[in-house]
Amino acid sequence: MTELPALPDTAARLIDAHIDALWLERGLSPHSLEAYRSDLQLLARWLAAQGGELLKARADQLLGYLGWRIEQGYKARSSARLLSCLRGFYRQALRDGRISEDPTLHIAMPKVGRPLPKALSEADVEALLAAPVLDELLGLRDRCMLEVLYATGLRVSELVGLRLDQLNLRQGVVRITGKGGKERLVPLGEEAMHWLEQYLQQGRAPLLAGQPSDVLFPSRQARQMTRQTFWHRIKLHAGVAGIDASLSPHGLRHAFATHLLNHGADLRVVQLLLGHSDLSTTQIYTHVARQRLRELHAQHHPRG
């Protein structure tokens, strides 16, 4: 990457104030806030190299910056996120009276193709669920985690972060706090309930080895597992199951949504279960399920 000057102090203070406002107004996650901070800091440094400043940036300068990013190897999706970040920054500056015109007003959002998630087949899921060795503590824990993940469609970060008080086996639901602090209740289903009960009776206490913790699925060190560790475990079990299909950390979440739609679930129900704030985010799964829908039509329609 091209060498840029250090971040000017004035820009640093502006960015800090904006990030604080985002946290207060929108409740964004620390990860999102740091991504926004990094985007604004890089822009401020690039502008400084051109003799410019954040609050004096013109539309042509911002377009020049977007072009520079492409030259540096940034992808269109990254540029789309950046432009969304810049719009928020300059709209706030306009509201606060720091600028008289929003320089992002007439800059079009880059077109970004949405990749279709690669869903596991139902047979692949069954093989993956059966892969952990159940007479090992970690195997029992992993089987339970995989069953819960497939039954609920949780994000991996939501799964590894589960606490005991989020689980209600009497009602058969798990309470999830998702993106933006939004809560949702997700049903577990009989199979996941069965494995949770077995794991809580036989596996969790030995894993904790007497150490106090409210983590539902502790690691070997009796701490909260990282997403990376769980991803490593999934790959391990996928190898045992002989799954050749491309597998991502969210593979079971994708499978959860696709298989529900394949079996006739309403798209809005799937949206609620996944915790999507916008139905358009959920609609991507209808493309994955379309082939299955064609097969069902051919099989059951009198003129199929």
Residue 276 among the catalytic residues = yes
Catalytic residue among 155, 204, 237, 259: 155
Spatial distance between the Cα atoms of 304 and 298, rounded to a whole number of angstroms: 4
Residue 253 among the catalytic residues = yes
Q: β-strand 183-187 against 173-177: which pairing, if any?
A: antiparallel
Q: What angle do CA 278, 284, 286 make, to 5 degrees?
A: 115
Residue 250 among the catalytic residues = yes
- Residue 187, beta-bridge partner list: 173
Residue 75 among the catalytic residues = no
Catalytic residue among 69, 237, 250, 254: 250
Catalytic residue among 65, 150, 199, 285: 285
Residue 31 among the catalytic residues = no
Catalytic residue among 143, 233, 237, 253: 253
The two three-digit tokens of residue 248, written as one number? 């991502």
Residue 118 among the catalytic residues = no
Spatial distance between the Cα atoms of 116 and 118, rounded to a whole number of angstroms: 6
Catalytic residue among 37, 175, 179, 292: 179
Count CA within 13 A, CB hemisphere, residue 240: 16
Spatial distance between the Cα atoms of 36 and 32, rounded to a whole number of angstroms: 6
The two three-digit tokens of residue 302, written as one number? 């009198």
Catalytic residue among 18, 143, 259, 276: 276
**Active site amino acids:** 155, 179, 250, 253, 276, 285
